[in-house]
Structure 1
Amino acid sequence: MNRTVELHDLGQSLWLDNISRQILDDGTLRRYIDEFSITGLTSNPTIFQQALANTSAYDASLRTHSASQLSGEATFIELALEDLRRAADLFQPIFEETRGVDGWVSMEVSPLLARDTQGSIDAARRIHRQAARPNLHVKIPGTAEGVPAIEEAIIAGVPINVTLLFSPKHYEAAAEAYLRGIERRIALGLDPKIRSVASLFISRWDKAVLDKVPTDLHNRLGIAVGAQAYRSYRTILASPRWKRLEAAGAVPQRLLWASTGTKDPTARDTLYVEAFAVPDTIDTMPEKTLHAFADHGELGRASVEDIEAADALIREFAGRGIDVDDLAAALQKEGAEAFVTSWNKLMQQIEDKQHILAASV
């Protein structure tokens, strides 16, 4: 049996951390659904920037949108949604079969809004309306300014993927925003079934400390932090507060493991997928990691469930001068800045291509 099928049968959802017009046009995404049990996908500005960088697949659409004289951002949103609607339609049968648990795609608000609460709320509503697909999450970063935007978006009925979460505290803040949003919907007499996922980034922890700790601690911090967040996740789902919401018809905000491709070339390339192979969660993985796990991944190594070991490891890292809260804040800031860099490159690529295409007419 394909190892990805085994992971799916364990109760974990496998989503692809990639989107491009090429994998839609050549049937690759369809094959991943059929052969690798892929049941959703995620995207971000970096993924789209790379997708547009070295292909002519978007040229026809760029010509059309150039004629409409749309801004660079508006053009990008149209291009991205063209791809994401197609992907959403491929996942629609899964979405219906699982009653909304799976079958999702994600579109991120502009990373320039990471510190703009009202701007994020407005953008989330616009993207949700413009996408016109029930199985599209809008991604909002879990920054201090993003958290209230998440709550308001949930109240407005917008499915949200909370991105750029790094620590248990980040996750708990995102979960609290979701719970408050659902509670307020119930108080208003609105349907509480608004889907959300909370995306915890893993491998960037280990890249950040690779040169600061001895080799026996390499590639262990991300798993330990993830284990602590997983404990928070299970605690929330077992709480009386959540049980009351569930009884009223609410559905859980699912925990999603992001950045699960290893960045250390000396590490096992399926390390994080194996460590986080637990039911009732999602693993979104890049294509390279997906193929690696399908080829030689192993189950039975879900170290994320060993909470006591995780707590001990965090204490050991603290003894080495690694402050988890400080590093989480730095990683979130760096992640937001990296998306801004990709966004700016993306806007420039769109402008450059439009000029080239206009000159070739």
Structure 2
Amino acid sequence: MASTAPKELNELGQSLWLDNITRDLLDSGTLKSYIETKSVTGLTSNPTIFDNAISKSSWYDAEIHKQLDAGHKGEDLFFNMAIQDLSRAADLFLPIYERTGTVDGFVSLEVSPLFAYDTAATVKQAQALHAQANKPNLFIKIPGTPEGLPAIEDAIYAGVPINVTLLFSADHYLACAEAYLRGLERRVAEGKSPDVRSVASLFISRWDGAVGDKVPAEIKNTLGLAVGQQTYKAYRDLLASDRWQRLENLGAHPQRLLFASTGTKDKNASDTLYISGLAAPNTVNTMPEGTLLAFADHGKLAGALTADGGNFAEVLKAHLDAGVDLTALSEELQAAGAKGFVKSWHELMAAIDEKSKVLS
């Protein structure tokens, strides 16, 4: 008998999103089924997902052929195809977007990571992609690196809904939240609406992957949850601040905290570890398809996180005592993640180039 945990999670106030998008997922009706039977209310994507789908299947061959015939190639060709898929997904989620007062039901598309050090180019592409898709429930993803923060502020100021990605700590979250607040405050100062949506994506599982062989057995697979809990407290504290309350009174909506990278890497740990342990109201958990299916099959909830985040402080201290420099590691993880995005992007472009040669 299937678990009722996805429905319980949704009722608790957390949005359950799928971290996957392929043409087959759409054509087969699988995504529609997940919405109807597994309480999925949104979706995220990234270059690696598209690279795997394009290079390891024939799902996109016919469309690549059409794009080539129309004179498109490379990055332009990719974004045209990605927007086709994400527009179809956005339409499936549109009833949820409308039913929840435009809070939930979003899909996400990433800007080119090659613009990481160019604020103006990132914002220009974010605006262009959002306009091309012409879907109100589409987030544009921008990394929350130090170089990405000015682009996040400017994109929010320009009215583009943003999914801030590649956050690894409470400090990273607060820096991105600051960029979000500044963007909204600039809009308010000019008499514009501060109702520009955003999520802040905190990566969880990579923490435990990084320290798994460096810490005592009794604290293995506890660091990711602790960082998530610490960041949730920072999120709740910010939402209780006078600065945020002023913006909310003027019509702003919270930049929701999103737990990402929630597939369990350690085969000896629970395959729903980062879902059950981070059940928190007014947040999002975006999970790989395998994790979604596991949670729908045998997931259990142990209650919701409290506003103070729970017992994360003692877990973080145990890791410090084991010699883990948490601040340095957060910076290493973010830098490695940014490099990984660039690598995935180059691999995606290479896959499209290879398919283009075969199909042209």
| TM-score between both structures, scaled by the size of structure 1 | 0.97
The partner residue of 2:327 within 317, 325, 328 is 325
Encode CA deviations 1:321-354: one digit per residue, 9 max, x unaligned.
2111110111011111111111111111111111
Give the corresponding residue for 1:117: 119
Flag structure 1 segments of 5+ consecutive residues without an equivalent: none
CA drift at 1:217: 1.3
CA drift at 1:212: 0.8
**Alpha carbons of structure 1 residues 262 and 301: separation in structure 2 relative to 1, 3 Å:** farther
CA drift at 1:52: 0.9
Give the corresponding residue for 2:224: 222
Encode CA deviations 1:28-83: one digit per residue, 9 max, x unaligned.
00000000111100001111111112221211211111123323011110110010
Flag structure 2 segments of 5+ consecutive residues without an equivalent: none
Moved more, 89-98 or 23-32: 89-98
Aligned pairs (5 A) from 1:99-138? 99-138=101-140
Aligned pairs (5 A) from 1:228-247? 228-247=230-249
Instruction: Indicate the percent of aligned positions where both proteins have the same amino acid.
Output: 56
Q: State the alpha-carbon separation in 2 of the partners of residues 194 and 308 from structure 1.
A: 30
Structure 2 residue 143 is the aligned partner of structure 1 residue 141: yes
User: Partner amino acid for 1:139?
Assistant: K
Asked if the contact 1:4–1:293 (Cα under 8 Å) also holds between the matched residues in 2, the reply is: yes
CA drift at 1:3: 1.8
Encode CA deviations 1:102-138: one digit per residue, 9 max, x unaligned.
1100000012222332221111111111111111000
SS of residue in 2 equivalent to 1:211 = coil
Aligned pairs (5 A) from 1:283-302? 283-300=285-302, 302=304
The partner residue of 1:170 within 161, 169, 172 is 172
User: Partner amino acid for 2:343?
Assistant: T
Encode CA deviations 1:148-194: one digit per residue, 9 max, x unaligned.
10000001000000000000000000111111111111111111110
SS of residue in 1 equivalent to 2:311 = helix
Structure 2 residue 344 is the aligned partner of structure 1 residue 342: yes
Q: State the alpha-carbon separation in 2 of the partners of residues 307 and 339 from structure 1.
A: 30
Asked if the contact 1:224–1:304 (Cα under 8 Å) also holds between the matched residues in 2, the reply is: no
Q: State the alpha-carbon separation in 1 of the partners of residues 69 and 180 from structure 2.
A: 40
Asked if the contact 1:62–1:354 (Cα under 8 Å) also holds between the matched residues in 2, the reply is: yes
Moved more, 292-301 or 275-284: 292-301
User: Partner amino acid for 1:337?
Assistant: K
Give the corresponding residue for 2:356: 354
Encode CA deviations 1:228-270: one digit per residue, 9 max, x unaligned.
1111100000011111111111111000000111000000001
Q: State the alpha-carbon separation in 2 of the partners of residues 323 and 122 from structure 1.
A: 37
CA drift at 1:98: 0.9
User: Partner amino acid for 1:229?
Assistant: T
Q: State the alpha-carbon separation in 1 of the partners of residues 289 and 127 from structure 2.
A: 30
**Alpha carbons of structure 1 residues 134 and 332: separation in structure 2 relative to 1, 3 Å:** same
Asked if the contact 1:276–1:304 (Cα under 8 Å) also holds between the matched residues in 2, the reply is: no
The partner residue of 1:267 within 255, 266, 269 is 269
CA drift at 1:305: 6.0
Asked if the contact 2:53–2:59 (Cα under 8 Å) also holds between the matched residues in 1, the reply is: no
User: Partner amino acid for 2:60?
Assistant: Y
**Which ranges of 4 or more aligned residues in structure 1 deviate by more than 3 Å?**
301-308
Give the corresponding residue for 2:37: 35
Give the corresponding residue for 2:187: 185
